[in-house]
Chains A and B, each alone.
Chain A
Amino acid sequence: MTAVNELSKVLYIDLSKRHFYTVLRDDLFGKYIGGAGVAIQLLKEECPEGIDPFNPQNPIVFAVGHLTGLFPLASKTVAMFKSPHTGNLGESHAGGRSAISIRSAGYGAIVIKGVSSKPCYISVHENKVYFRDASTLWGMRSSITAGRLIRENEPASGNRTIMRIGLAGEKMIPFACVTTETFRHFGRLGLGAVFGSKKLKALVVSGKKSIPISERKEYLNLYDSIFKTATDSPLMKKYHEIGTPINVMALNASNALPTKNLQLSTFDKAYEISGENIAKGFLGKRLACAHCPVACIHIANLRELYEEEPFFYKTSMIGYDYELIYSVGSMLCISDVNGLLKIIDTVESYGLDCMSTGVSLAWATEAQEKGIISLKDTAGLELKWGDSRCYIEAIKKLIEQPTDFFKALSRGIEYASSLYGGKDFALSFGGNEMPGYHTGPAAHAGCLFGARHSHLDNGGYSFDKKIMLDKNILPQQLADNIVSEEEWRQILSSLVVCFFAREIYKPEVVKEALKVSGFNLTDKDFSDIGKRIYIEKMRFKIREGFSFENLSIPERIYQTDSSVGLIDRKFMDSLVSSLKTKILTYLQTSS
């Protein structure tokens, strides 16, 4: 199995000792495919039980898969680490050029351990690893500038990935992200903060190695058929034209667009911040991850006039996506696109996770409205729905932390609400701020039980449609759907296929693709491996203190109409207990 051998090289980098070595891990890549499957094993091996996420021993694992570089849309890198945000499993996926660069550099995975004594960044150019000084970049106000400097200092333009953090990561804000290729993110669970704790500003990886295949003719045929499906499919066309913001209007129409901290589920000004409207007035460019013909990345062009200096303009290019529009748009009642883009740009330049930032600010606004927090708490800042300026100020304060309140808020709303109250409207699931889908019970239960507390774990929101079609559907049925979807997604994220391509990479296609890359799997193997990875991730969570017993659901979700009407508490309770029973039985019955 040539493919396994070639992919299975793992690069270990120790920042404390400033050395690196490689190990062939056929054992892992043979058994767990790659991506998430391999990453969880490496995380288990490297992360001592119960350590603080900012302990130097907390490893950062990046892994790619067998199809990376061979087939279109196998373009994601899976990162794993112990999350400073939830205290358990940290897992985050991003595209850009990260996956192809890691694989072309000759690795299936990279593990970064230890802590650097001084700010540094790492450059991996195939078999060479450099520890570069980053003292000058550390503390720089804009991570975009830091990114540009690294770009100018490193070779291999066009064949490299540059992952970097901003001030949020340096300050170890537990929902800081890592940005790759300016517009893609390892978001959510705080990979940026773990970078920061290691004094690691960035990771650059480049390479041009070829990837062996076993059957060339079959490979070319399969390639063409996958490529054709990707370019012909209406779904892909939709993502290319309007991009993920196409969801704004769709979710708004079905009472699922969280608005004003989910006091509402429709936004009367939704059209203004819709994908359609932003495209009309602001769309400046569309970009793609490497090896993806779809090009779903949408970049807006924002032209601002300097207030006191006529004829001075600033033009910025700002990436936007549905989740960003929801979290710092409708959640904060922002309806002017200029303001929305400026908020996104601020979040971007600090390297924060946009969703957690927006949802935290929405909670803070309501908390201030209700008198739970005072003007003193916010250092005199009045948080007002719809006012982009106050939110830009608030984001700066999240970084500068002038008051105890901002210190608390920068740790997320689960923590902040545990100190200040307002838990019932703190929209956090398992410690992670909610995604933009108030479709019904399955969406929320999916996040609560998903290994990453992300809507992408199991796509719970899509199962709410089943409730809309059949009012008598049983909670057990939904629980089964949610868990089996999460299992299948372990396969996709071990192959590192973009979830947008999940309709293309059906089991039959995956099997064929793996075969030509020299890797034979049966249907049974698939379900076994998917299940095993899922269980391993859950086990890691539980090992690190996660418990199904202390899960709580914010009251707010019961108070606002969703796509299926008001969420029925009894139904939700039994969905939760079905999920609990199912997962616990799983964990007990498997070895």
Chain B
Amino acid sequence: MRLEVVDADKCVGCQCCMFACSRIHKDTGLSKTCISVKSAGGMQRGFIVITCIACEDPPCARACPENALIVRKVGGVILKKEKCTGCATCVKACIIRAVFWDEEINKPLICFYCGYCAKYCPYGVIELRKTEFELKQSREGKDDSSK
């Protein structure tokens, strides 16, 4: 699964999703969130919602010199914290800027596709959905729900 931005035009900029992500990371406020909502050059232009789109061949993982980002079969990555040295190479590799940073432990903060934030989006902007890979699989009748 992955978090999908269904329709950013409906986003009101409340940032309830960001607060939710911080909470699921056992924190509060906006300190630990791996989804970002910012104005598209002034709020009158609407908002950009940025989060990991779960690439099938993730540049962030390829860039990591320590192999700390494990690629999921369905797309996207999982951070192996113990391998990560905090070099931030992955941050630069992700051109949509979906690699956020956890200042406290000095390691990346990347969406782990839990869907918690979507429950707090009052306007259906974001949703937890199948990744392209999973969709392909189910089209081909191979329902692989394991990672």
**Using a CB–CB distance below 8 Å, which chain A residues touch chain B?**
69-70, 72, 100, 103-104, 147-148, 151, 157-159, 181-183, 208-213, 216, 219-220, 223, 227, 231, 285-293, 295, 299, 317
On chain A, the residues within 8 Å of B103 by CB distance are: 208
Q: Is the interface of A mostly helix, strand, loop or mixed?
A: loop
Pick 8 A–B contacts, CB within 8 A, sort by A: A100-B15, A151-B41, A158-B36, A210-B32, A211-B28, A227-B120, A293-B120, A295-B123
Whether the Cβ atoms of A287 and B32 lie closer than 8 Å is: no
A433 vs chain B, min Cβ distance (A): 27
Whether the Cβ atoms of B122 and A287 lie closer than 8 Å is: no
- List B23-46 residues whose CB lies under 8 Å from chain A: 23, 26-32, 36-39, 41-46
Whether the Cβ atoms of B19 and A291 lie closer than 8 Å is: yes
Is B88 at the interface (CB under 8 A from chain A)? no
In the complex, which residue of chain B has the Cβ closest to the Cβ of A231? B122
- List B44-78 residues whose CB lies under 8 Å from chain A: 44-46
Tally A-B pairs: CB < 8 A.
Answer: 88
Whether the Cβ atoms of B43 and A211 lie closer than 8 Å is: no
**Using a CB–CB distance below 8 Å, which chain B residues touch chain A?**
12-16, 19, 22-23, 26-32, 36-39, 41-46, 103, 120, 122-123
Whether the Cβ atoms of A100 and B43 lie closer than 8 Å is: no
On chain B, the residues within 8 Å of A70 by CB distance are: 28-29
Beyond the given A290-B13, A293-B16, please list 18 additional residue pairs across the A-B interface where CB-CB is below 8 A. A69-B28, A69-B30, A100-B30, A104-B30, A148-B42, A158-B38, A158-B39, A182-B44, A183-B44, A231-B122, A287-B13, A288-B13, A289-B14, A290-B15, A291-B19, A292-B16, A293-B120, A299-B44
Q: What separation, in Å, do the CA atoms of A10 and B14 have in the docked complex?
A: 26
Q: What separation, in Å, do the CA atoms of A210 and B16 have in the docked complex?
A: 15
The residue from A159, A182, A231 contacting B42, defined by CB atoms under 8 A apart = A182
A241 vs chain B, min Cβ distance (A): 12
In the complex, which residue of chain A has the Cβ closest to the Cβ of B48? A158
On chain A, the residues within 8 Å of B45 by CB distance are: 317
A319 vs chain B, min Cβ distance (A): 9
Q: What separation, in Å, do the CA atoms of A58 and B4 have in the docked complex?
A: 50
Contact A213 B16, CB 8 Å, known A151-B42, A158-B39: no
On chain B, the residues within 8 Å of A295 by CB distance are: 12, 14, 122-123
In the complex, which residue of chain B has the Cβ closest to the Cβ of A147? B42
Contact A104 B120, CB 8 Å, known A148-B42, A182-B42, A285-B44: no
On chain B, the residues within 8 Å of A317 by CB distance are: 44-45
Q: What separation, in Å, do the CA atoms of A453 and B20 have in the docked complex?
A: 38
Q: What separation, in Å, do the CA atoms of A366 and B37 have in the docked complex?
A: 48
Contact A291 B16, CB 8 Å, known A148-B42, A285-B46: yes
The residue from A151, A183, A210 contacting B22, defined by CB atoms under 8 A apart = A210
Whether the Cβ atoms of B43 and A287 lie closer than 8 Å is: yes
Whether the Cβ atoms of A292 and B44 lie closer than 8 Å is: no
Q: What separation, in Å, do the CA atoms of A227 and B23 have in the docked complex?
A: 14
